[in-house]
Amino acid sequence: MVDIELHSMILSATASESLPLELEAKALLQSGWWSSYGANITNTTSHCFHWPGITCNHHGSITQISLHGEFLLGKSLEEFNFTSFPNLVHLDLGSARLIGRIPPEISRLSKLVHLNLSDNCLSSELPSSIGSLSNLVMLDVSVNGISGYIPGELGGLKSLVTLNLSANHLYGTIPMALGFLTNLGHMNISQNYIQGELPLSLTNLSNLMMLDASNNEISGSVPPEIGKLVNLHGLHLSGNMLSGPLPSTLGHLANLTNLFVDGNYVNGSIPREIGHLANLQNLVLEQNQVTGAIPSEIGNLKKLTHMALNSNNLSGKIPLDIENLKELTYLDLSSNHLSGNIPSGIGNMKNLTSLDLSCNYLRGNIPPCLASSPQLRIDLSYNFLQGRIPYEFSSHFKNVSFFGNEDLCGETIFKGNIPGELGSLKSLVTLDLSSNAFQGELPLSLINPSNSVMLDTSNNQFNGIISSILGQLRSTYLKLNRNQIEGSIPYEIGNLINQGNLDLSENMLNLTELYLGNRGQTYRQNQLTDSVPSSTGNLKKLTILDLSFNGLGGKIPSEVGNMMHLSHLDLGHKRLSGNIPPCLVSLQLRVDLSVQFLKRSNSSRV
């Protein structure tokens, strides 16, 4: 009798244990999330612990569901019965293409530790009931369409270490209650529409290592109390509406490796205490209203690899201590009011690959030692630099720009001849020497047949003739206009089949025949004489032809009608005479025949 009762008790206990397991399996089946895995899953409620993404404990109860990256397009969380999973601690549905809202019933997962719903198509508001998941350590709902306010109830997640709400449509202010998350190590609320000031309560998060509030509408100033976050490694406040000066207490953040405050309205000077950040690797303060000099203490940042202080109102000289930044690979000080000489010590920064000092008031010569790094890309345009370009540059640079110096200072800057060694730059893509005071003949090395460089030497004082070797260029862009080049345009120029833009205007050139077939030719304001050549009809691919302000006379040849791709023809300010050819009627183009002695024929309507 006792044996029968004992057996009955065992069966009853087994049944009571198996019932919840059956409910879990049934809930999985009803969600439809595993329907794509075939009949073995969709037709049974047993052995669900063998299903993809399912982990069970030793009792067979489900503890983890991980379908990260699975194709659940069109499925929603509302199809999931959260009450059926009392032992679930890990739910990862990231990048699963879920739609709909996050239901309040998700709070039934009372043992949940890890919740990842990132990179889906979830919408509506974040339910405040999530704040009751007291065991939650990681909450990630980033990259969705969630809107509304950040629930203050999230302050109840006392165990939370990681909070990621980034890339949603959240608005309103940052709840002060988030300051109660004393275990929080990573907080990312970037790329939303959050407004208001940074609450002082956040400075109580003594374990915080990363704070990213970038690309919002946060206003006010960076609070001095930020210096209390001594474990902070990353502070990202870019793209907001912050104003006021940077607090000197930033210097207390000895573990900081990344400081991004770019794209705000921060003013005042860079605090000297920033030199205490010995572990800093990225310093980005660009596009603000920072004033004053760059502090010499910045030379103490020996681990710095990236520094962008461009687009501010910095003044004074570039500190000599900057040469101590041996690990620096990127330096941008452009668009400021910096003056003085370029420190030669920058040439000792062997890891530097990008240097932008453009749009300042720098003077003096270019230090030859800047060419010591074979990988360096440099922009020194729009300054007051003088003298010759050092020939040392000829061995290295991929891109060199000295464009537009005269626009900044009102007079041309670089003088003398171009070093022929520039033509030996094997990987040169673009060379812009325009708007300076260079003179002499163009080095043949610059128009070497092996080069495909895009070359602009316009608005200088180059003279001499155009070499026939020009016809062997592989370049698609060549501007020699506004110089003092003379002589005939060589016959070989007709070989430039790759040319997309050739401008020889405002020189002292003459021309007897045209052989070009490229897309755009400008010869305006030269000394072209005789008549418009009949060979213009050979330019079948030409779209723009400008022969204005020359000495061409005679009739417009009827062969012009063969230029079927021509969209703009400028023959203005010449001594042309005779009738306008009827063939121009068949071309859909803009024609300038101003200041001529032409007659309209009866069949011409141009």
Q: What are the pLDDT digits (tens) for 279-305? A: 999 999 999 999 999 999 999 999 999
Residue 17 lies in a domain: yes
Contact 290, 268 (CB under 8 A): yes
Contact 338, 315 (CB under 8 A): yes
Question: Is a pLDDT exceeding 80 seen at residue 512?
Answer: no
Range in 191-205, 249-263, 448-462, 489-503 the model is least confident about? 489-503
Would you say the C-alpha torsion 589, 595, 599, 602 has a positive or negative sign? Answer: positive
The DSSP call for residue 20 is H
The string of DSSP codes covering 109-120 is: -TT--EEE--SS
pLDDT for 578:
62
pLDDT for 13:
37
Residue 76 lies in a domain: yes
pLDDT for 450:
59
CA distance 365 to 222: 40
pLDDT band at 604 (very low <50, low <70, confident <90, very high): very low
Question: Is a pLDDT exceeding 90 seen at residue 230?
Answer: yes
pLDDT band at 552 (very low <50, low <70, confident <90, very high): low
Contacts of 567 by beta carbon, 8 Å cutoff, 6+ apart: 543, 544, 588, 589, 590
pLDDT band at 461 (very low <50, low <70, confident <90, very high): confident
pTM (2 decimals)? Answer: 0.72
Q: Provide long-range contacts, Cβ within 8 A and 24+ apart, for 321-324.
A: 321/296, 321/297, 322/294, 322/298, 322/346, 323/299, 323/348, 323/349, 324/299, 324/300
Residue 47 lies in a domain: yes
Residue 484 lies in a domain: no
Q: How many domains does the chain have?
A: 1
For Cα atoms 214, 220, 223, give the angle at the middle one, nearest 5 degrees: 85
The string of DSSP codes covering 137-186 is: -EEE--SS--EEEPPGGGGG-TT--EEE--SSEEEEPPPGGGGG-TT--E
Q: What are the pLDDT digits (tens) for 39-49? A: 455 554 456 66
251 token code pair:
């210097």
What CATH number corresponds to the domain at position 94? 3.80.10.10
pLDDT for 409:
29
Contact 49, 56 (CB under 8 A): yes
Output b/e per residue, 437-460; b: 16+ Cβ within 10 A: bbeeebeebbbbeebebbbbbbbb
143 token code pair:
């990259």
pLDDT for 88:
97
Q: What is the mean pLDDT of residues 208-237?
A: 98
What mean pLDDT value characterizes the chain? 80
Task: Return the percentage of the chain with pLDDT > 70, whole number.
Answer: 67
Residue 86 lies in a domain: yes
CA distance 48 to 62: 9
Q: Which of 573, 566, 551 is nearest to 606 (CA)?
A: 566
pLDDT for 7:
37
pLDDT band at 35 (very low <50, low <70, confident <90, very high): confident
Would you say the C-alpha torsion 176, 177, 182, 185 has a positive or negative sign? Answer: negative
- Residue numbers of the domain that contains 112: 1-122
Q: What is the mean pLDDT of residues 590-603?
A: 50
pLDDT for 376:
83
pLDDT band at 406 (very low <50, low <70, confident <90, very high): very low
CA distance 165 to 144: 9
177 token code pair:
């209650």
Residue 415 lies in a domain: no
Q: What are the pLDDT digits (tens) for 66-125? A: 999 988 888 999 999 999 999 999 999 999 999 999 999 999 999 999 999 999 999 999
CA distance 563 to 583: 10
Count of CA atoms in the C-beta half-sphere (13 A) of 21 = 16
CA distance 265 to 204: 26
pLDDT band at 308 (very low <50, low <70, confident <90, very high): very high
Residue 599 lies in a domain: no
Question: Is a pLDDT exceeding 80 seen at residue 254?
Answer: yes
Residue 51 lies in a domain: yes
CA distance 72 to 77: 11
CA distance 90 to 114: 5
Question: Is a pLDDT exceeding 50 seen at residue 412?
Answer: no
